[in-house]
Structure 1
Amino acid sequence: MTPTLVPHHPARDWAEIQERMLVPLYEAVYDRLGVGAGSRLLGLGCGSGLALLMAAARGARVAGADRDHARVELARERLPEGVTITEEPPESVTYDVITAFHATDGILPGLRTLTRSAQSGTAVVLAGWGPPERCATEPVLRIAARLADRGPAPGPDLDALVAGAGLRPAGSGRVSCPFGYANEGSAVRGLLSTGVFDEAVRATEPAQVEKEIEEALAPYVRPDGTVWMPNVFRYVVARVR
């Protein structure tokens, strides 16, 4: 199979292709927490700002932080004037809701710092992949670990993060977030934009990574050329003690 080899612009590919795949997750969390007029929400790892835009449309006052400069610039373009988007999380918070829809183990130190300054009862939401058997994308993600010459990298243990940050568990949920793409090329660009494959690309060759992603996508290509991958994401809700 010939690799796609299309020019990639990761931040824009994330904004235009991949970010929308998690809209059902964002909606489910906002519905559960009653995010709306009067809510004050901070998005950690806010990407190019779609989740913040959705919260703002509900009437919430929002702010975000993401270490990817290009994504931050896109978020600033699409969010209303006056919304603060930074590349480092604030040292203190005055928000009702803190979200980390793309939680990783590396978020723990910053999360501890934030929650020390947050008011008791502040909601903290962490989200990540659901059970591997419920995620069609899981075999594709294993490619990243193998090509980077490291062991399998399952999603973070969300409950352990809650405990490590000293938060009080307050519930959890699972949400169906299928990944749908117009074609294989769009799927490859979207998946590469997640950042999961960055280490693999550095360790091998971009063409090899693309080739293996395309091969793993083959079972999910439909007769019309579109790609459909059912996935389930899990989120946990916790409260500052």
Structure 2
Amino acid sequence: MTPTLVPHHPARDWAEIQERMLVPLYEAVYDRIGVGPGSRVLGLGCGSGLALLMAAGRGARVAGADPDPARLALARERLPEVPLALSGLPEGGPYDVITALHGAAALGSNPAAVTRLAERGGAIVLACWGPAERCATASVLRVAARLAGWGPAERKGLEAAVAAAGLSVAGSGRVACPFGYADRDSAVRGLLSTGEFDAALAATDPDQVEKELLEALEPYVRGDGTVWMPNVFRYVVARTP
């Protein structure tokens, strides 16, 4: 199968195609910890701001940070009055909810510093992919790892990240987040926007990356041309002392 050769705009593809796939995760986390009027939510790795927008829609005051300037620019379009930081952390706080819903790496190299922004008894919520056997997308991510020249990604466990922040896990959950796309093109653009393929794109010809991604997607293409990939995401909740 030949590459689609469609121009990619990762930040906008994330905002327009991929980010909505995680809405069930965002909703489940906010329901679990009771985000609503009076909540003060700090989103780390906030991307283009959909999770913050949803929290604001529940009546919460929100702030965010993300290292990607293109994604953060889109978040500023959605949330022009919200404090957003490209590097470091936005001013404000303390927060009763701090989230890193796209992986523990958003806590940075000093997670204990992040927890100091939380008020006493505040919730720290981390989320990432669930078990590989429950995630159809895991087979596609293995392609990304191979093309990047390294083995399957070793992701820091959520519990380990919580412990590094000097906290303990108070609860956890799993949420079904199927990835559904209108066609192969949308699937390629959405998955490339996640950042999971960045190392592969830097190490390999982008056309080859796209070709192998399309091949890996083929088992999930349905008769009408849509793409459907069942996945489970996992989150943990810690509470500050």
Q: Which residue number corresponds to residue 57 of structure 1?
A: 57
Kindly indicate whether residue 179 of structure 2 is the aligned counterpart of residue 213 of structure 1. no
Shift of 1:111: 2.2
Against the structure 1 CA distance between its residues 106 and 32, is the aligned structure 2 distance closer, same or farther, given a 3 Å change threshold? closer
Structure 2: tracts of 5 or more residues without a match: none
Cα distance in 1 between the residues matched to 2:173 and 2:51: 18
How much does 1:121 deviate? 1.1
Which deviates more from structure 2 when the two are superposed, residues 112-121 or residues 224-233? 112-121
Task: Work out whether residues 63 and 90 of structure 2, in 8 Å CA contact, stay in contact via their aligned partners in 1.
Answer: no
SS at match of 1:119: strand
Structure 2: distance between partners of 1:117 and 1:134: 34
Q: Does 1:46 align with 2:46?
A: yes
* In structure 2, distance between residues paired with 1:184 and 1:232: 21
Does the CA contact (< 8 Å) of 1:108 and 1:165 recur in 2?
no
Q: Letter of the aligned partner of 1:124 in structure 2?
A: I
Query: Contact 1:17–1:186 at 8 Å: present in 2 too?
Result: yes
SS at match of 2:121: coil
Q: Which residue number in structure 2 is paired with residue 185 of structure 1?
A: 185
Instruction: Supply the distance in 2 between the matched residues of 1:9 and 1:232 (Cα, whole angstroms).
Output: 26
Q: Which moved more, 1:211-220 or 1:107-116?
A: 107-116
SS in 2 for 1:71: helix
**Larger displacement relative to structure 2 (32-41 or 89-98):** 89-98
1:84 aligns with 2:83: yes
For these two proteins, the number of residue pairs brought into alignment is: 240
Structure 1, unmatched stretches of 5+, are none
Equivalent residue runs for 1:47-126 within 5 Å: 47-79=47-79, 81-90=80-89, 93-105=93-105, 107-126=107-126
Quote how far apart the aligned CAs of 1:165 are. Answer: 0.9
The answer to whether residue 238 in structure 2 is matched with residue 238 in structure 1 is yes
Q: SS where residue 236 of structure 2 aligns?
A: strand
Contact residue 44 and residue 106 of structure 2 kept, 8 A? no
Is structure 2 residue 171 aligned with structure 1 residue 168?
no
Partner amino acid, structure 2, of 1:206: P
Displacement after TM superposition at 1:151 (Å): 1.5
Shift of 1:106: 6.5
2:137 aligns with 137
1:75-97 deviations in Å (ceiling 9; x for gaps)? 00012x42111112328741110
> What displacement does 1:117 show?
4.1
Structure-1-length-normalised TM-score = 0.96
Identity of aligned residues (%): 70
| Alpha-carbon distance in 1 for matches of 2:149, 2:45 | 26
Contact (CA 8 Å) 1:221, 1:227: kept in 2 or not? yes
RMSD (Å), alpha carbons = 1.4
- Contact 2:95 2:117 survives alignment (8 Å): no
Distance 1:166 1:4 in 2: 47
SS in 1 for 2:63: strand
* Displacement of 1:13: 0.2
User: Would the alpha carbon gap of residues 151 and 219 (structure 1) be closer, same or farther in structure 2, given more than 3 Å must change?
Assistant: same
Residue 109 of structure 1 and its aligned partner are, at CA, apart by 2.1
Q: Deviations over 1:118-151 (max 9, x none)?
A: 3221100000000000000001011111111111
Following superposition, the deviation at residue 116 of structure 1 comes to: 2.9
SS in 1 for 2:67: coil
> Deviation per CA, 1:36-69, whole angstroms, max 9, x where unpaired?
0000000000000000000000000000000000
